[in-house]
Amino acid sequence: MIQNIQYNDVVEVWAKHQEAAKKILKPSCHVCKVCDGRACAGHLTNILEFGGKGNNGGFINSVERLAAIKIHMDCIHEEYDPDPSIDLFGHRFSLPVFASPIGTILTEHPIDSPFFNANAAYATALVDGCCQAGAMAWVGDNKRPGFFEDQIKPIMDRGGIGVPTIKPWTDRSRYWQKLDAAKKAKTMAIATDVDAIGLGYQYAGTSDPPVSTRSLDELKEIVKRAECPFIVKGIMSCGAAVKAAQSGAYGIVISNHGGNIIESSPAPCDMVESIRKAVGDSVKIFVDGGVRSGEDVFKLLALGADAVGIGRPYVQALYGGGAYGVYIYTLKIYWELVLMMRLTNCRSIADITRDKVHIEETAKR
């Protein structure tokens, strides 16, 4: 981890990258100061771009509910340098944060950037920027030929640091083909976003090729064939979490796909405690949805998450500053988390316990 840029400098550069991204991404994304789903709500092509389903109810709720979690300060302790590093997939990461997979940005507006529709360049910048900051990138999948291969190549080039997320293709041979490609690339883990069946443009029967559900038995088979940590992404109930755990999966991602699947979705942060209770320590719990700062990361860790994903802001960071933008954005999250740990008497991630936060019920939608 190269943490040679301090917080004040980081936020200045991040602000510049946001300005640059705004010029590039408008009108598809407004690059708001805080990406909360309000300005992009209700756009005609919302679900295909940066917004969420319908009027962004699920997206906005995810951000609002995180904001309702408050952090308890304790500055009476000896001086120390907080250590937010974690061990995961046999690797030491500088912080418990990853870039969530963003497969495709579909837009009616052409985006004037070397990263637009340039899957290899996009994935390489994302993976490299995250690795440089001591974090990791998860990459996505879609139906375009060669897309998935472009996503896993930079992970392979980085010694396997990163996680490809394979769509639950209806055509099983297509699914196994991608799983085998990821295994060959020796990625440190493999994920599947089982909730992709809810993405409008991928409903079975309306697109070629479609995606479809996986039964518990099929999940068990996938876990076995993966021969590396397998993660089920798109868990939003205790029932589904228990089934994922029964499949032998290494971990789950509590995620509502950024509010892209169900407009009336609960916020992922509101599911963490009950799901942790339901599955105990049998699986790693990752969470994403509305995370915008190191404070948000701290809150989810306090509720029981093992690591936290961030989606849309990484798109903005990348379009605004390339791999360096991704690096700078990760440093911003890193320093914010370190500061929270110092302010709450936490030396390590293990010290970030439930008593460090409380949830205000007033903002519940």
Ligand X SMILES: Cc1cc2nc3c(=O)[nH]c(=O)nc-3n(C[C@H](O)[C@H](O)[C@H](O)COP(=O)(O)O)c2cc1C
Q: Interface residues with ligand X (CB under 6 A)?
A: 50, 62, 100-103, 105, 140-141, 165, 193, 233, 255, 257-258, 260, 288-291, 310-312
Whichever of 25 and 346 has its CB closer to ligand X, that residue is 25
Tokens of 263: 């407009």
For the CB of residue 342, give the shortest distance to ligand X in the complex, in Å: 25
Spatial CA neighbour of 13 closest among 311, 265, 309, 325 = 325
Q: How far is the CB of 127 from ligand X (least distance, A)?
A: 15
Report yes or no: 265 and 256 within 8 Å, Cβ to Cβ. yes
Q: How far is the CB of 102 from ligand X (least distance, A)?
A: 4
Rounded to 10 degrees, what is the CA torsion of 89, 92, 94, 97? 10
> Which CB atom, from 288 or from 336, has the smaller least distance to ligand X?
288
Q: From the CB of 310, what's the least distance to ligand X, in Å?
A: 5
36 or 346: whose CB is closer to ligand X? 36
Nearest CB to ligand X, comparing residues 256 and 344: 256
The CB density around residue 293, as the number of other CB atoms within 10 Å, is 17
Using CB atoms within 10 Å of the CB of residue 351, give its burial: 0 to 12 exposed, 13 to 18 middle, 19+ buried.
middle
Closer residue to ligand X (CB): 65 or 82 = 65
Residue 196 C-beta: closest distance to ligand X, Å: 7
Q: Are 310 and 101 in contact (CB under 8 A)?
A: no
The C-alpha atoms of residue 348 and residue 332 are separated, in whole angstroms, by 18
Distance CA 92, CA 86 (A): 6
